[in-house]
Structure 1
Amino acid sequence: MAITAYAAAWFLPFVVPICLYVVYTDVSRMKITNVANLALAAVFVVVGLIALPFDVYLWRLASLGIVLVVGIVLNAAGVMGAGDSKFLAAAAPYVAIGDLRLVLVLFMAVLLASFVTHRVARMTPLRRLAPHWTSWEQGKKFPMGLALGTSLILYLVLGLLYGA
């Protein structure tokens, strides 16, 4: 992996609670809050200075802007939600460019598992554990924050275990 175990170790304790909050709010309310996205970006801005060499830090910070612009375009085209777009932008700096292919494969696997798990829970008595969650009633819509937050956590865990 291109991410260093050192960087993953610095990011992980701060990113996990934010991502778990994103997962919860998206499944329960179909909303990824701006506060969560800003917190994720702020953690990178502060912790990234410690965890990464400065030149790498600047390039990764630039990825936030690039992904945000692409996300705005995709949101305007109706391809994805605004919260999802902002989360992707805030999460982009955490991903080493050399790991992009791995992250895409990881995301596809997590997305499939998240979708199946959400649909099964929605159609079984498990739904009674949280009967008022908005995502149960959304028809074809899916709380993408479930897959996005989980993917970032798993990527950083893999980076901690197998990073450079």
Structure 2
Amino acid sequence: MPLPVDFALPDRAAAIFFILTLPACGWVALSDLRHMKIRNAAVLTLAAIFLVIGPLVLPLDLYLWQIVQGLVMLAVGFALNLARAMGAGDAKFLAAAAPFVLLPDAYAVLVLLSVMLLMAVALHRSARRIPQVTRLAPRWKSWGARKFPMGLGLGPTLSLYLAVAAFG
């Protein structure tokens, strides 16, 4: 049964982006859990995927607008980081992920992000209270951190958006 959401991102582009970005999104989540950092290499990988593959799967005018959208998100993320409202890695991830999300899909993706972050916080905060779970990954910095590893919600949100846009 298809979901009642019809995303603007073309199916073919979404499928290609999903396949290519899935490892980077997983890397973002795992790195943030382990180190409480989203690695620049993961963010640059996402950006490179869009820059190289985007013109092959999107119309040129749309591709260029999506790059502008990413630059706007970089400026917004930079301002939020300066205001200490967001970590630098989170801001860079949002800037790298923004070109993959078409503007008509932004509201649905924000709703998806909200749900994913709530689920990630609940899962992480519950899991870190279970000694059997924390013993499986005893060196993860996120178990004892006051702050939440946002990559745990950010990476899966991009992957889920692309998967739903591609495969319904």
Counterpart for residue 21 of structure 2? 15
Q: How does 1:35-46 map to 2 (within 5 A)?
A: 35-46=41-52
- How many residues align? The count is 161
Whether 2:139 is the aligned partner of 1:129: answer: no
Pairwise CA distance, 1:83? 0.3
Pairwise CA distance, 1:4? 1.1
* In 2: Cα distance, 1:159 partner to 1:50 partner: 18
With the length of structure 1 as denominator, give the TM-score of the two structures: 0.96
Q: 2:84 aligns with which of 78, 102, 106?
A: 78
Q: Percent identity?
A: 48
Q: How does 1:9-158 map to 2 (within 5 A)?
A: 9-124=15-130, 125-139=132-146, 141-158=147-164
Counterpart for residue 4 of structure 1? 10
Pairwise CA distance, 1:9? 1.2
Letter in 2 for 1:147: G
Higher helix share: 1
Gap runs ≥5 in structure 1 = none
* In 1: Cα distance, 2:162 partner to 2:17 partner: 8
Pairwise CA distance, 1:161? 1.7
Gap runs ≥5 in structure 2 = 1-6
Compute the RMSD of aligned alpha carbons: 0.7
Letter in 1 for 2:80: L
Letter in 2 for 1:137: G
Letter in 2 for 1:136: W
With the length of structure 2 as denominator, give the TM-score of the two structures: 0.94
Letter in 1 for 2:27: Y
Pairwise CA distance, 1:13? 1.3
* In 1: Cα distance, 2:161 partner to 2:133 partner: 28
